[in-house]
């Protein structure tokens, strides 16, 4: 029993660490655009993001229930078997996260988490322990669909925003005012981040508690202390992560106009919030990237740089299987070596955490290790400085030409 308690504590510690890195990594999703267009002062933006992440984590626990209750048939497994597997899955997730971070590959912390858990369970118990229906309908399909959905929505609302504020007489169009609006939309994105990302860690901790028999499987909702711990951790991570992003942001977003940023953020926030309410666990990073690309396409005359889009998409698709493989390896150690395997895994985890810490302490910040992926996806769309005329403008120029010709005659 003592070993079970020890592993449980390790799982909770690792899960909270994962939560922290998640917040650390994702501040940029919410706050890169308002800082870049100058809507918010960096300090204010980071504080706001941290606070709203905290609030968002309390708003809805649907996603946590998906993780703790849906993916793994925890009721069919023995507690002593499941706990080390959750542990192995977490190690898989953190390892993959760190690898992609070091290599500058775009990836998703959420998918790393799920990949790790699924991989470890597959190896440790077998396919029958995983509810593929839930995995498919609440994780894999949302992962594929959500960025596209967000892109379509962002495209639509960008068109709407530009169409409503367009003026044909060349007078000021007031689009500067979207900069005020961005303060609210980016706050909503931070809130949405809390309702989806903090939940994943809550789900894992709750799953571990159920596996250890400290919580009954019928009541899969996270307990209050779990919610508070996760909310505070992700808020702390968001706050700490912000400073790094601010330093590097200058190289990130190039040409996001206030109207476009406003639309992209409105789309991101509404997609994530609607998904959270139904318990879909999606990657906030991918949704935000999809929105940025979609809103770029919503501007006149823009073209897609398919090479960049492809690079981003491959990183996304790779995450689930790759972190699954790492999780499976960690689980293999446990299956083959028993308690010794757990010790080896724990040592590995400590090494990875330390390496991550040292890496973040190193002052060198360049595009490869610290740039926001969302900002990066802005480069996937090429927007000309001088957009082609709208239909109405073409008609106006044609009419002007015709009247000129009339006047000369």
Partner 1 sequence: MSVSIDWFAFVQVFAAAIAAAVLVVGFYALGLRMLVRAGRVPVVTPAEFTDAIAVISEKQARRHAKAAAKAAKKNPLTPAQKSVALVGAYAAFALCAVAVLGGIVLIVAGR
Q: Which residues bind partner 1 (CB under 8 A)?
A: 35-42, 44, 59-62, 132-133, 136-137, 141-142, 145, 149-150, 152-154, 156-157, 160-161, 164-165, 167, 171-181, 184-185, 188, 191, 195, 246, 249-251, 253-254, 258-259, 262-263, 266-267, 270-271, 273-278, 280
Shortest CB 42 distance to partner 1, Å: 7
Specify the residue, 171 or 307, whose C-beta has the smaller distance to partner 1.
171
Specify the residue, 237 or 252, whose C-beta has the smaller distance to partner 1.
252
Distance between CA atoms of 407 and 409, rounded to whole angstroms?
5
Specify the residue, 63 or 88, whose C-beta has the smaller distance to partner 1.
63
Specify the residue, 89 or 142, whose C-beta has the smaller distance to partner 1.
142
Specify the residue, 1 or 163, whose C-beta has the smaller distance to partner 1.
163
Residue 360 CB neighbour total at 10 angstroms: 17
Specify the residue, 258 or 296, whose C-beta has the smaller distance to partner 1.
258
Residue 304's SS3 state is strand
Q: Which residues of 237-273 are buried (b: 16+ CB within 10 A; e: fewer)?
A: bbbbbbebbbebbeebbeebbbbbbbbbbbbbbbbbb
| Contact indicator for 172, 249 with CB cutoff of 8 Å | no
Shortest CB 154 distance to partner 1, Å: 8
Shortest CB 133 distance to partner 1, Å: 4
CA neighbor of 25 nearest in space, from 242, 272, 331, 260: 242
Shortest CB 114 distance to partner 1, Å: 17
CA neighbor of 3 nearest in space, from 87, 91, 126: 87
Residues in a beta bridge with 72: 130
Shortest CB 252 distance to partner 1, Å: 8
Full DSSP string of 120-185 = HHHHHT-GGGB-HHHIIIIIIHHHHHHHHHHHHHHHHHHHHHHHHH--SS-S---GGGHHHHHHHH
Shortest CB 98 distance to partner 1, Å: 28
Shortest CB 11 distance to partner 1, Å: 25
Residue 38 CB neighbour total at 10 angstroms: 10
CA distances from 369 to 13, 93, 362 (A): 25, 18, 11
Specify the residue, 92 or 279, whose C-beta has the smaller distance to partner 1.
279
| Contact indicator for 88, 343 with CB cutoff of 8 Å | no
């Amino acid at each position: 029993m003592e070993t079970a308690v020890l592993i449980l504590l390790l799982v909770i510690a690792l899960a909270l660490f994962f939560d922290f890195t998640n917040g650390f990594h994702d501040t940029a999703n919410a706050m890169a655009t308002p800082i870049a267009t100058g809507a918010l002062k960096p300090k204010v933006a980071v504080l706001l993001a941290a606070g709203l992440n905290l609030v968002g984590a309390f708003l809805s626990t649907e996603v946590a229930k998906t993780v703790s209750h849906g993916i793994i048939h925890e009721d069919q497994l023995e507690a002593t078997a499941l706990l080390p597997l959750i542990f192995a899955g977490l190690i898989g997730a953190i390892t993959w996260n760190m690898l992609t971070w070091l290599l500058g590959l775009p990836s998703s912390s959420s998918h790393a988490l799920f990949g790790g858990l699924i991989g470890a369970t597959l190896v440790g118990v077998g396919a029958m322990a995983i509810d593929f229906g839930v995995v498919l309908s609440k994780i894999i399909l949302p992962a594929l669909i959500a960025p596209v959905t967000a892109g379509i929505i962002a495209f639509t609302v960008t068109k709407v925003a530009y169409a409503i504020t367009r003026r044909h007489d060349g007078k000021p169009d007031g689009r500067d005012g979207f900069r005020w609006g961005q303060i609210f939309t980016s706050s909503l994105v931070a809130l949405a981040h809390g309702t989806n990302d903090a939940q994943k860690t809550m789900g894992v901790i709750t799953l571990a508690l159920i596996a250890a028999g400290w919580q009954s499987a019928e009541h899969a909702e996270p307990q209050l202390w779990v919610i508070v711990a996760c909310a505070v951790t992700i808020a702390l991570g968001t706050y700490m992560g912000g400073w790094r992003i601010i330093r590097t942001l200058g190289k990130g977003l190039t040409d996001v106009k206030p109207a476009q940023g406003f639309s992209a953020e409105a789309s991101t926030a509404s997609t994530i919030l609607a998904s959270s309410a139904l318990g879909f666990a999606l990657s906030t990073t991918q949704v935000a990237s999809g929105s940025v690309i979609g809103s770029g396409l919503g501007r006149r005359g823009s073209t897609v740089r398919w090479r960049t889009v492809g690079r981003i998409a491959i990183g996304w698709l790779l995450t689930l299987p790759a972190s699954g493989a790492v999780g499976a390896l960690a689980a293999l150690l446990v299956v083959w070596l028993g308690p010794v395997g757990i010790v080896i895994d724990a040592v590995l985890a400590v090494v990875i955490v330390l390496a991550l810490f040292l890496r973040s302490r190193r002052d060198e910040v360049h595009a490869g290790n610290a740039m926001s992926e969302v900002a990066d996806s802005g480069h996937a769309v090429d927007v000309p400085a001088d957009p082609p005329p709208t239909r109405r403008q073409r008609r106006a120029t044609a009419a002007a030409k015709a009247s000129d010709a009339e006047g000369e005659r």
